[in-house]
């Protein structure tokens, strides 16, 4: 039990560190368009004045671990050498189990919508829509469109 709690705390620390790195990176990216999965929404909502817009796309880890915690998991080192060209296997595992409650995601969406200065700063281009992303897509002001359409729309507002 103690090991499980320690691993969970370590995972939370890694997520906090990742968000801090993103926030520091944003200092030089004011007015930029972000495209990606769940973390893009967090950055767009936490720093709406620095992000021109955000497009949420499909990809590994998008569904996360669902809206509620699951059974704990002990992470072990991958077998064999790690390919540095591929995504970090630990990050993929964490994102695949990351809890994503709908109300948490919509809070970030609402902040991005209210404080970005754009009429529609969020676009959902993902085909796969787990409950948290479906809730974000249902928020007034969030646009559901393809990645190409979203990029063209954001380019027209630049």
Backbone angles phi, psi at 35, to 5 degrees: -135, 135
Categorise residue 73: left if φ over 0, alpha if ψ from -120 to 50, beta otherwise.
Answer: beta
pLDDT (tens digit per residue) in 16-37: 545 554 555 545 545 678 888 7
Q: Break the chain into its structural domains and give their ranges.
A: 2-67+89-157
CB atoms within 10 A of CB 43: 22
pTM: 0.67
Residue 2: which pLDDT band, with cuts at 50, 70 and 90? Answer: very low
pLDDT (tens digit per residue) in 122-157: 999 999 898 999 999 999 999 999 999 998 998 888
């Amino acid at each position: 039990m103690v090991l499980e709690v320690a691993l969970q705390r370590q995972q939370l620390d890694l997520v906090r560190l990742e968000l801090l790195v993103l926030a520091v990176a944003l200092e030089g990216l004011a007015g930029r368009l972000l495209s990606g999965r769940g973390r893009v929404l967090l950055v767009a909502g936490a720093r709406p004045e620095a992000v021109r817009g955000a497009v949420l796309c499909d990809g590994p880890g998008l569904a996360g671990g669902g809206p509620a915690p699951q059974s704990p998991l002990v992470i072990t080192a991958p077998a064999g050498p790690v390919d540095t060209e591929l995504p970090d296997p630990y990050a993929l595992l964490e994102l695949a189990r990351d809890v994503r409650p709908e109300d948490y995601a919509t809070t970030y969406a609402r902040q991005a919508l209210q404080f970005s200065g754009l009429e529609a700063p969020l676009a959902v281009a993902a085909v796969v829509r787990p409950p948290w992303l479906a809730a974000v897509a249902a928020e007034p002001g969030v646009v559901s469109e393809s990645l190409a359409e979203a990029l063209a729309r954001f380019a027209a507002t630049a």
